[in-house]
């Protein structure tokens, strides 16, 4: 059975980002996947210390809530990372979480975790222009390039002025569900 894990990088629970991720996970579950949703804001995740101990041991030396997430990421077949855009980039919670993926790389910056994972990045933001943050999505794609993903897609919800705007956008939610099915 496929394992699909979703990471909510928004500090706001029950908001647009969470709705996008939950809908992706619903699509995956409909195809028989085991799913899990994790709220990054509820965890104590410190920034990468740049100590490079992980290059020797394949284990991060920083003892915090990220360590169990490393194992979940290694075991997952599909990963959904979602964040609203604050100050023209993903939230601090999301950036810190992704920085800690450095532990998955060897000294030569190749990945040692199993190849072939499937990724979806889900972002939401207030501006109406669906292309406004393509640079952010490009940066996120580059961050996972060493992991040699089998599949990497972006899900964008623009124009989110209210906390529940995702609920009103059936086209994006339908796309999210289909993307979740494609993760399996």
CA-wise closest residue to 137 among 148, 127, 123: 123
pLDDT in tens, 76-96: 999 999 999 999 999 999 999
Q: Is residue 124 a contact partner of residue 20, using CB atoms and an 8 Å limit? A: yes
pLDDT band at 148 (very low <50, low <70, confident <90, very high): confident
Question: What percent of the chain lies above the pLDDT cut of 70?
Answer: 100
**How far is Cα 118 from Cα 6, in angstroms, rounded to an integer?**
12
**How far is Cα 104 from Cα 88, in angstroms, rounded to an integer?**
27
**How far is Cα 183 from Cα 176, in angstroms, rounded to an integer?**
11
Residue 161 has pLDDT above 90, yes or no: no
pTM (two decimals) = 0.96
Which helix H or strand E contains 119, and what residues bound it?
strand 118-124
Strands 78-86 and 89-90: antiparallel
* 127-139 burial: b if 16+ Cβ within 10 Å, else e: eeeeeebeebbee
pLDDT band at 184 (very low <50, low <70, confident <90, very high): very high
pLDDT in tens, 29-64: 999 999 999 999 999 999 999 999 999 999 999 999
Residue 25 has pLDDT above 90, yes or no: yes
Q: Is residue 30 a contact partner of residue 2, using CB atoms and an 8 Å limit? A: no
Residue 167 has pLDDT above 90, yes or no: no
């Amino acid at each position: 059975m496929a394992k699909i894990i979703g990471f909510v990088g928004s500090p706001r629970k029950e908001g647009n980002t969470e709705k996008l991720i939950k809908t992706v996970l619903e699509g995956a579950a409909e195809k028989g996947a085991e799913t899990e949703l994790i709220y990054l804001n509820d965890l104590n995740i410190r920034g990468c210390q740049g100590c490079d101990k992980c290059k020797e041991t394949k284990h991060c030396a920083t003892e915090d809530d990220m360590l169990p997430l490393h194992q979940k990421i290694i075991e997952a077949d599909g990963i959904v990372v979602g964040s609203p855009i604050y100050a023209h980039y993903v939230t601090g919670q999301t950036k810190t979480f992704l920085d800690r993926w450095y532990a998955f790389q060897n000294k030569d910056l190749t990945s040692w975790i199993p190849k072939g994972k499937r990724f979806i990045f889900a972002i939401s933001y207030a501006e109406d222009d669906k292309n406004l943050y393509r640079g952010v999505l490009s940066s996120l794609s580059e961050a996972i390039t060493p992991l040699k993903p089998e599949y990497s897609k972006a899900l964008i919800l623009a124009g989110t002025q209210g906390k529940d705007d995702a609920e009103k956008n059936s086209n994006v939610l339908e796309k999210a569900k289909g993307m979740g099915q494609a993760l399996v």
